[in-house]
Amino acid sequence: MRVRQDRPPVAVAFSGGKDSTAALLLLRGQGHEVSALTMRLGLPGEEEKLGRIESLARVLGAPWEVVDLRAAFREKVLDQFLHAYRSGRTPNPCVECNRCLKFGLLLAGMERRFPGGLLATGHYADKVRRGRGWFLREPRDRVKSQVYFLAAIDPAVLGRVLFPLAGMTVAEVRSQVAGLPLANARESQDVCFLQGEDLGGYLARHVPGGFHPGDLLDTGGATIGRHDGALHFTIGQRRGTGHAAGRRLYVVGRDLAGNTVTLGDEKDLYAAALAVKRPVFWRKMRPDETLRVKVRYEAAGHEAVISEASATIIRARFREPVRAVTPGQLAVFYDGDVVVAAGEIAEA
C-alpha cells in the first residue's frame, strides 16, 4: 500500500507480539508511514528478545528503534511497586507503566522523532470525541478490553494516540499475523518483570521485612494464631492462612507496620463505599451522580453514587456492597462504556 500524504506518520509501540504487529500492518494498510519503537526496560534476557523484535521489524520492512527507558522503569514502576507493598497496598504496575512510560516518555520520544506524528499501541481499547476532548471507550472485544489499565493516563495525550485494534476481535488479530515470525508468540497475563517468578518469591527477595512471623487477628483485634509473613496474604484469600476455625475465614485486613493479618467471615470482605486518591478526571463528576465503577480488572463493575469529587479525592457509595475492595488497586468510573475518572483505591 502506498503512503498517503494526507495521513500523519505513526510510530507503533512495538513489542513484537501479535497485537502490536497487527496494529502496524493495519496502519500501513490505511496508508500511514509507519515505524516501530520498542522500550528497553533492563529486564533479564532483554537483549536476546530485542534481537528477535529487530528481526521481525526487518521482515515487516518497518524502520525500528529502541528507546532506552531503563532508569524510568526502575523509578516509576519497579520502585513504586515495592514501595506500595512495603506500605501495605496491592499495586497494579501495568497502570503506572502505561501512565508514565508508554503514554508519557515513549509518546514524548515519538513526538521528538516524528513532529506531527501519532503513537499507536496494540491495546484493545477505543476512544471517542465528546465536545472538545477525547475519552477512552470500551473496544469491540470486551473480553480482551484493556481500558481498565489505561484509565489513569493523562487525558490530554489521547488526541495523539491511535488504537488500531479497537474494532477487532482476538481471532481477527491472530488471522492478521498468521505465519509471521513473532518475537513474542505466547500470550502472558503475568507482570513483565516477574519473568515467570512467583510473586511471593519476588517480594521475599526485595521486601524481606514483610516475611517475618507475626500475629493472626480476628476482627475484634484478638490474637488467634501466627503467620509467617504478612506479604504472603492478599485481601479475600481463604486457603493457606494456617488457621483452622471450624468455619471459613478470609483475609480481611493486613497491617505491614504491625506485621498482623486479620481474618474474618466473608461478610467482613464487603464494603459499602470507597475513597479514591490521585484521581484522574476525564470530565467533571457531579455529587449524587450514579456511575459504574470497576475495582479490579476482571470485575464487570458496580453501581455507585458519587458523594465527593475534588482534585485530591473521590468518594462514592455502592448501591450494593462490593467484595474485596483492595487499597492500591485502580478504581475506574464509567458512564456507559466511556471512562470518566480513575484513581488509586485509598480505603474501603
Do the beta carbons of residue 60 and residue 24 sit within 8 Å? yes
Q: Which amino acid is at 48?
A: E
What are the Cα distances from residue 4, in Å, to 20, 27, 37, 118, 330?
21, 11, 21, 15, 40
Gap between the Cα atoms of 145 and 332, Å rounded = 13
Q: Which residue has the cell 492500591?
A: 328
Nearest to 38 by CA among 102, 82, 103: 102
Burial of 221 (0-12, 13-18, 19+ CB in 10 A): exposed
What residues contact 153, with CB distance under 8 A and at least 6 apart? 98, 99, 103, 104, 280
Q: Rounded to an integer, what distance in angstroms lies between the CA atom of residue 251 and that of residue 291? A: 29
Is 192 in a helix, a strand, or coil?
helix
What residues contact 31, with CB distance under 8 A and at least 6 apart? 1, 2, 3, 4, 6, 7
Q: Is 282 helix (H, G, I), strand (E, B) or coil?
A: coil
**Is 97 one of the catalytic residues?**
yes
Active-site residue, from 11, 23, 97, 345:
97
- How many residues are present in the chain? 348
Strand order, beta sheet including 118-120: 64-68, 34-40, 10-13, 118-120, 161-162
192 is known as an active-site residue:
yes
Please tell me which residue in 192, 194, 199, 224 is annotated as part of the active site.
192
- Supply the residues annotated as catalytic: 97, 192
